[in-house]
Structure 1
Amino acid sequence: MEELAIRVEGVVQRRKHFQLGPVQLRIPKGYVTALVGPNGSGKSSLFRLLMDLSKPDEGEIEVFGHPIGCDDLLLKQRIGYVPDQAIDIEDHLRAEDKASFARHWYPTWELNRYQELLRRFEVDPSIKLGRMSKGMRRKFDIALAMAHHPDLLLLDEPSSGLDPIAWKTMIDVIHRYMERGDRTVLMASHIVDEVKRLADYIVFIVHGRVLGMFEKDALLESWYTLYIDGAGRSLEWKAMPGFYTQEAVGSGQFKVVTGDVAEAEEWCEREGLRIAGRQKLELDDILAILIEQERLRMQA
C-alpha cells in the first residue's frame, strides 16, 4: 500500500453560498498530484484547510500521518505553500526582509538554495513586494516556499502571471525538486500543458465535490472519440463500455465518445462494427465532460 502524504476524510466546509465536500482524498507520497477544476470549485479552500488557515465543519485531515489543527509547528516546517493570492499586508516589505523573517521558522532553510532560485527566476530581492509585478511576486513566493527543502509543496495556481520563460523555469525547478523520489507536490492548475508535464495523478473537483482521482497517463489513454461505421443499423449505444455521447455524422457513420476505449473497441468488434477513426481527448475536453455529468447529476 502506497504511503500517503495527505489524507482527507469526510471533510465538509460550509459557507453562505458554497459548500466544500464531503471530500474523501488520498494523496500518495512521492508524486505530483494536480487539482483540476473551474474557478470557484473549492481548490483554494482545500489548500487553506490543509494549512490550518481555516477549519472544516466536519471531517479530519492528516498530513504525513499527523492531524491538522493540533501542534502544527514541526509539521508546517515540512511544508512549502504558495497561495493563490499574495498577502497584501506584506506589500511594504522588501523581498529580502520577508525572507529574513521567514528563515527563522525553518531549521532546514538554505541560503544558497534561496539565492540560486532567485537567480534562476531573475528576482531582485531589494524590491518591495507591493511594487513587484504579479509574475515577479509569484517567482519570489515559489523561491521562498522551496528554500527550506520542504517534503510537501502546496502550489495554488503557481504559474499565475508567469511569462513563458519563467514558466519553463518553474517546470524545471519542480522536476528537479522531485528527483529525490520522496517529495510530494499538490498543485492546483488550469493550464493543461502544465498538468500534462508535471502531474502523476489528477483530481477533478467541481462545485465543491471531488469527482475522482486518476492516474494521468491511464486517464488520457482512456478517453477517445471513435468514428464508427454503423452500416444503417439501429444500435444501443449506451451498452458500449464508457459510453458518454454519440451523434450521427453522415453516411451511416457515428461519432461516439467513450471513457474506456479498450473495452469500447472490443464491444465494437463483438457487434461487428468497423472503427473508421480514433481521436484522443485532451484534458480540458475530459474536464468539460465531467462538469456536464455533474451538472446533470445536480439537476436530477
Structure 2
Amino acid sequence: MEWENLAVVEIKSLTKEDRKQEALSDWTINFEAGTINALCTNGPNSINILFALLLGQEKIMKDAIHINGLDAYKQRKKLAAQIGYQNEEVVLAKHGDVLQLLTTTIKKSDQAVTLEQAKQIVNQFGIKLNARVADLAQGQKQQLGIIMMTIQKLPLLLLEQATSLMDDSQRKATWQLLHDYVQKMNATVLFASERFDELQRFADQIVYIRNGKITNQRELPTHDSVDCMVTITGTGFPIELAESLGAHIIQEAQTETKLIFSGNIQVLLPLLEKTTITDVRIQDAEIDDELMIF
C-alpha cells in the first residue's frame, strides 16, 4: 500500500458517548484523499473524541472507522506511524536546537524528506536552525510542529486548535505549506479552530457539527470571501431580494434584522442605502452564528 499517495477516512454509523452524552451521534461521512476538511462545532469535546478514535486511543464498534481500508482500532499500531496529531500545546524535544530535532526525526522515519529539504522548509518560515527549540515563541513552536509532520510525509494530519498561537502572517504561511503538502502528497487534513474565518479561508469543505451531530457539509470551491454577520437597524430592508443574493435571515424584528451573508458583501451594500435604515453593523461570522443556519 502506497501510504504517501493515499489517506481516505471512512466513518459509518458511528455513535460515541462521553459521560453519558453523545459526543458523536450517528456519523456517516468520508474524508477523501487530497482534501482539507474543517470541523465547525460548538462542542470541542466532539473533536477530542473523534481524533482519539482516529488515533486508535478508544475502542469503537466494529467497522465504524476505516483509514485506508484498515480498522482504526484493530490496526492502530500499524496506523500510528502514519497519522500526525497536533493540538494547541505542541510537544517537541525539550533539549537541543531545531537542526538536531530535524536530524533525529528524519533518521527515525523511513519515508521522510532529506535533511536538506527539511532545512529549506524551516528556513522559509524564518526559524533559525541553531535556535533552541525550548526558546522558540509559541507561534513558531506550533509552526515547527506542523512542519515536522509534513517532513515525515504523514498522509493523515489531525489539527486541533493547532494554529491558535500564531499571528496572521504565521498562520497564512502555515496554511500555504499545508495546502501545497496536501496537493503534492494526496494527504488528508482534518482540523478544528475557534475562528470561523480560518475554517472558511483554508478548507475545501466545512463539516458542521451541532451537539455531536453532523448537520451539514459545505463545499468551498473558492476562498475569496468570508461569511459576515450583518445587523440592520431600521425598516424597509428587502429581505426576499437579500435572500436571493446569499443572505440567511436569523432574526427579523420590527426595527432590527440580523442575517448571515455568504459571498461578496459588496453585492449586499446597495440594499442597505435606504433612508429608513438608520444603522448597519458588519462583522465576520462566528461559529455559533454559522450553526444557526447550517
> Same fold by TM (over 0.5)?
yes
Given that residues 42 and 288 in structure 2 are in contact (C-alpha distance below 8 angstroms), is that contact kept between their aligned partners in structure 1?
A: no
Given that residues 12 and 58 in structure 1 are in contact (C-alpha distance below 8 angstroms), is that contact kept between their aligned partners in structure 2?
A: no
Q: Give TM-score, length-normalised by structure 2.
A: 0.69
Q: CA deviation at 1:134?
A: 1.5
Q: CA RMSD in A?
A: 4.1
| Residues 1:258 and 1:35: Cα distance change in structure 2 (over 3 Å) | closer
Describe how 1:240-279 pairs up with structure 2 within 5 A: 244-249=250-255, 255=257, 257=259, 276=271
Q: Structure 1, residues 175-229: CA drift from partner, whole Å, max 9, x if none? A: 3223337332212122333223311100122333333221135998999979327
Q: Give TM-score, length-normalised by structure 1.
A: 0.68
Equivalent in 56, 75, 78 of residue 79 of structure 2: 75
Aligned to 2:94: 91
Describe how 1:103-114 pairs up with structure 2 within 5 A: 103-110=106-113, 111-114=115-118
Equivalent in 17, 20, 32 of residue 14 of structure 1: 17
SS of equivalent to 2:8: strand
Q: 1-side partners of 2:253 and 2:185: how far apart?
A: 45
Given that residues 245 and 258 in structure 1 are in contact (C-alpha distance below 8 angstroms), is that contact kept between their aligned partners in structure 2?
A: no
Aligned to 1:239: none
Given that residues 139 and 165 in structure 2 are in contact (C-alpha distance below 8 angstroms), is that contact kept between their aligned partners in structure 1?
A: yes
SS of equivalent to 2:209: strand
Aligned to 1:298: none
Q: Structure 1, residues 29-82: CA drift from partner, whole Å, max 9, x if none? A: 222111122463422332222122333478721112221122345534443332
Deviates more, 1:156-165 or 1:13-22: 13-22
Aligned to 1:198: 202
Q: 1-side partners of 2:192 and 2:239: how far apart?
A: 40
Given that residues 229 and 276 in structure 1 are in contact (C-alpha distance below 8 angstroms), is that contact kept between their aligned partners in structure 2?
A: no
| Residues 1:276 and 1:194: Cα distance change in structure 2 (over 3 Å) | closer
Given that residues 208 and 217 in structure 2 are in contact (C-alpha distance below 8 angstroms), is that contact kept between their aligned partners in structure 1?
A: yes
Q: Does 1:284 align with 2:285?
A: yes
Q: 2-side partners of 1:210 and 1:283: how far apart?
A: 23
Equivalent in 209, 213, 219 of residue 209 of structure 1: 213
SS of equivalent to 1:46: helix
Q: Structure 1, residues 220-244: CA drift from partner, whole Å, max 9, x if none? A: 89999793279xxxxxxxxxxx775
Q: 2-side partners of 1:216 and 1:244: how far apart?
A: 22
SS of equivalent to 1:153: strand
Aligned to 1:50: 54
Identity of aligned residues (%): 16
Given that residues 82 and 145 in structure 1 are in contact (C-alpha distance below 8 angstroms), is that contact kept between their aligned partners in structure 2?
A: no
Given that residues 79 and 152 in structure 1 are in contact (C-alpha distance below 8 angstroms), is that contact kept between their aligned partners in structure 2?
A: yes
Aligned to 2:277: none
Given that residues 91 and 130 in structure 1 are in contact (C-alpha distance below 8 angstroms), is that contact kept between their aligned partners in structure 2?
A: yes
Instruction: Provide structure 1 residue ranges, at least 5 long, that are not aligned to the other structure.
Output: 231-241, 262-274, 295-300
Given that residues 228 and 284 in structure 2 are in contact (C-alpha distance below 8 angstroms), is that contact kept between their aligned partners in structure 1?
A: no
Given that residues 228 and 285 in structure 2 are in contact (C-alpha distance below 8 angstroms), is that contact kept between their aligned partners in structure 1?
A: no
Number of aligned pairs?
Answer: 262
Aligned to 1:64: 68
Q: CA deviation at 1:135?
A: 1.2
Q: Structure 1, residues 250-287: CA drift from partner, whole Å, max 9, x if none? A: xxxx84758999xxxxxxxxxxxxx95699x98735x4
Deviates more, 1:48-57 or 1:92-101: 92-101
Give 1:159's aligned amino acid.
T
Q: CA deviation at 1:125?
A: 4.8
Give 1:228's aligned amino acid.
P
Aligned to 1:118: 122
